[in-house]
Chain A
Amino acid sequence: MRELKIFLVVVVFTALVYWGVEPYAHSVMKPHVAPANFDFQQEDLSFANSIVATKQADLELAKAENNESKIEAAQKALDLANEKLQKNQALWDKVSKMDFSKADASKGAEFFSSNCIACHGLEAAGIAPTIPDSSIYGVLPPDLSGAGLLYDEKFLAALIMNPSLALKVDHKFGDAFIMTAYNVDVSGESEEVTDANIINVIAYLKEVAMQHKADLEQKTKAELEARYAKIEGISEEQKAALIEKDMVFAKEKNTFIEACGRCHSMKYDGLVATSNSSDLKGYLGSIPPDLSMMIRSRGEEYLNNFLNNTQKLLPGTAMPRVGLNEASQKEILAYMEKIGDSKKEERESTGLYIMLFFVILSIFAIAWKRSVWSKLH
């Protein structure tokens, strides 16, 4: 009994130290944020509101201190936060009024070819990119073949109307963002016309993306079948299962390339960012990090929240909010885990076997100890 009591004391103090240096310390050091929200209107408004609340509290604090210069600075910050909240409200008000069911994809195609192709390629529809590399803008403009399925439609609408605000890079680029806005103020057209154009072009992008997805699936399947046809010694079912698994991986990898691959490399999978790194440095201020080990250094939860709203976790970062819908974001995180933590499955199953081994060994060890000690007591 005494031995058990001592053991409990050791366990309690060890657990206390563990709690202090791990969960507790991290909860203090890591910023607390609301979990990822794929309703971008809600997300942006609640985020802008929370900033206003913080700035308001700062102002009150400064007032309590009665420090003139601090009050002035805090007031300024509060005004800026309010201004941003209003901008967000105005933008999302407009988006929420749009009726995406009335879209006409063929009109969207026309609009695309007269407006968007100056910068964007649409490979799946046979439209080649006009800008071949990153030297002009610092970053390669994206080919939009998959965009209609990768991104949330409301986010795309907001993005077209006010790119820097929707992407949350307005603090860095202001109104001088490389993508020009398309809205009533810029086009001089009526709201009806601009709204219709926007929903039409999004419908068109969706249509193209469906085609793009089907093409990709077909292509990958053909490639994989050809590759597995050469492999002997496994059954047809096993082959089918392996092809199925590789198809999922190819899809996830493709989503990563389309959403992240213009700026980020994935060295451990042989992927190099399609924009030139020195161009990116000039454009963003620093070279975007390689993402090979991000899943281990940041963890899935952080990345999920970060992609959803970059400013929430890294205020001031030049990385835009990606605007991925929930499904495509999951694919990207799955891909990152398959590259950065490729042995996770093996680790967890092997771990159980090793533990089981020691459980069995312990049983024998206890029996041996008893037999030796039976002569000693």
Chain B
Amino acid sequence: MAQIRKATGIVDWLDQRLAVHKLLDVLMVKYWIPKQINFLWAMGVILTTLFTVLFITGLLLVMYYKPDTALAFDSVNKTIMQEVEYGWLWRHMHGVAASVIFLIIYIHMLTGIYYGSYKKGREMIWISGMLLFVVFSAEAFSGYMLPWGQMSYWAAQVITNLFGGIPFIGDALVVWIRGDYAVSDPTLTRFFMLHVCLLPIVIIGIIAFHFYSLRIPHVNNEIAEELDFDLEAEKYMSGDTKNSKVIPFWPAFLAKDFMYISLFMIFFFYLVCFKFNFAMDPINFDPADALKTPAHIYPEWYFLWSYEVLRGFFFDIGGIKAFDIGLAAFGIAQVIFFLLPWLDRSDVVKPAHERPLFFIWFWVLLIDLIVLTIYGKLPPTGVNAWVGFAASLVFLLLLLVVLPVITILERKGAKS
């Protein structure tokens, strides 16, 4: 047992028992971050903040929400939105944060892609991040069902139906997921369980893993410079803070992030109080009605690009049904980003503007994703269907063919 002396204060008392100084050193004070970074490196902390907002407002909402098809709609729209003191605020914050968190996730992902932060030792950061994205998607989908409005119901209907396309077990799988032959009360209850219990636990676990995975390969920087972190840290600790290429997580990195969060929150609460329809679809203020199909069914904006890949293949090709091709393409779209570190065959870690072909590829991909997103909401008729088809095809080609080819060329060019 360690030597316990009479403590000089609370911190010392804790330090003797929990080694808080050592812990803070490891987690904060001697956790080194490159200095050469821009505001895009603040997205991780903004995401953590938004997740915290979702977690806390979610706890408040669960106190009044009723996961029962007969009570859910009124418990949200009457009890929470009108009767509970500031219930509207918690709900709007929850709904808007759920939508905005995806915007930040996409910026975070695209930053990683642009600066090549997914390879050469950083694969596990990328994979754990992608895992977070997928589980967050499930969390968002299950949460969207809870108010039991028209869009909740019909989105659940459409999305659960997709699993029916899986060969052999499809039909049974759909019933297993719904807990009934149709989307109904047991469906709502089980998605409630997923949303407030299982998925949050999984998310917290993966977040911890995501943070841990950063420690060994370290955070990338704006010029993708390979740093000797031990050497730079020594420089910093010896007092040469100006010439050291690293900064400590606390206070330097967090001081910067805290500034970005404060600024971001002005924008966030503007959305919460004045501009929330994008995150809280008006149609969902109509109670769920199994007999009345809404004129247009569409997912939330952050699912539109993959939804459009699903819808993009709208005609049979070579005897294979359009639905099956779409489903396969959708399946590929869901997992393809996991493989990014291996689809990129080049071992160059540099920002995209220093990799000419990759640079073009990046912007074409971004534009294609935006086209998919916009056309994913429009009715798939006439020209729209063809735009969706072309954009879906471009998406698959970009990732499956173009990226490997240009990065192989890059590698060969670098050698000669």
A-side interface residues toward B, CB under 8 Å?
A: 2-3, 6-7, 10, 13-14, 16-18, 20-22, 24-25, 28-29, 267-268, 289-290, 292-294, 296-299, 340, 342-343, 346-348, 350-352, 354-355, 358-359, 361-362, 364-366, 368-369, 372-373, 375-377
Contacts and interface: CB of A to CB of B under 8 A. Distances in A.
Contact of B256 (A7, A17, A369, A375): A369
B397 interface: no
B259 A369 contact: yes
A376 B241 contact: yes
A17 B38 contact: no
A289 B256 CA distance: 52
Nearest to B264: A358
Given A358-B269, A362-B262, A372 B370 contact: no
A268 B74 CA distance: 9
Mostly, the B contact residues are helix
Interface string B147-168: 0000000000000000000000
Contacts of B295: 29
Nearest to A289: B286
Interface residues of B, number: 53
B269 A365 contact: no
Interface stretch (B174-182, B371-379, B407-415): B371-379
Interface in B60-101: 74, 77-78, 81-82, 86, 88-89, 92
Nearest to A29: B296
A22 B241 CA distance: 47
A294 B286 CA distance: 7
Interface stretch (B2-10, B128-136, B276-284): B276-284
Contact of A14 (B74, B103, B266, B304): B103
Interface of B: 35, 38-40, 74, 77-78, 81-82, 86, 88-89, 92, 103, 107, 241-242, 247, 251-252, 255-256, 258-259, 261-263, 265-266, 269-270, 272-274, 277-278, 282-287, 295-296, 301, 304, 366, 370, 373-374, 377-379
Given A6-B38, A293-B285, A347-B92, A24 B269 contact: no
Contact of B78 (A2, A6, A16, A268): A268
Given A268-B82, A351-B273, A368 B255 contact: yes
Contact of B262 (A7, A22, A365, A377): A365
Given A342-B82, A354-B272, A355-B273, 14 more contacts: A20-B370, A25-B378, A296-B285, A297-B285, A340-B285, A343-B81, A347-B88, A358-B265, A358-B269, A366-B259, A369-B258, A372-B256, A376-B242, A377-B242
